[in-house]
Each structure stands twice: as C-alpha cells, then as structure tokens.
Chains A and B, each alone.
Chain A
Amino acid sequence: LAAPQLIMLANVALTGEVN
C-alpha cells in the first residue's frame, strides 16, 4: 500500500526536501 504523505514526511525529516 502506498503512503505518499508518510513518504513526504520522511523526506522532509531526513533531507528537508520534497520527494
């Protein structure tokens, strides 16, 4: 199952960038 908003949160947390 896709979790696009969770991926976005992870990206922002780890890099500060948008996926």
Chain B
Amino acid sequence: QRLKVEDALSYLDQVKLQFGSQPQVYNDFLDIMKEFKSQSIDTPGVISRVSQLFKGHPDLIMGFNTFLPPGYKIEVQT
C-alpha cells in the first residue's frame, strides 16, 4: 500500500494542527526532513529525532510509522 502525496499532505496538516500553538515544533520537524534529504542523518537518525519531537503524541508517531520502510517502527508508549 504505497502512500501518495495526499497522504503526506494530510499527515503534515495533522502535525501543524496539533502544534498550532507551538510552530517551532513543525519547524523542528522540517529541519529533521532537511537533514534527512541532505543525508546528514539516516533513517534511524530520523526515527530517533522524531520520536523525541512527537513524544506524548502517539497518533502522530503512528502516522509517521506509515512512512517508514519495512522493519522500522517507532514504539509508542502506552
């Protein structure tokens, strides 16, 4: 089940909405994406940073997991 651009846009909207009062969080997320694209960090690096950034937001973490390659997953604390 390959994700589409619309899925990415929808997820990004969800992040923006949840952190509407903390725009810095979304900016931090964009920084992580930039570093990933420039290959400053790899997939495990992204996972580490995103799991810290979205700590306490299991829905965002589960949404993010859908974009990870097989074998990678951020564990959600329950």
Contacts and interface: CB of A to CB of B under 8 A. Distances in A.
Contact of B5 (A1, A4, A12): A12
B68 A8 contact: no
Interface stretch (B17-25, B32-40, B52-60): B32-40
A11 B38 CA distance: 11
Q: Could you tell me the dominant secondary structure of chain B's interface residues? A: helix
A5 B2 contact: yes
B68 A6 contact: yes
Interface string B61-78: 000001111011000000
7 contacts: A1-B71, A5-B68, A6-B68, A7-B36, A8-B3, A9-B12, A12-B12
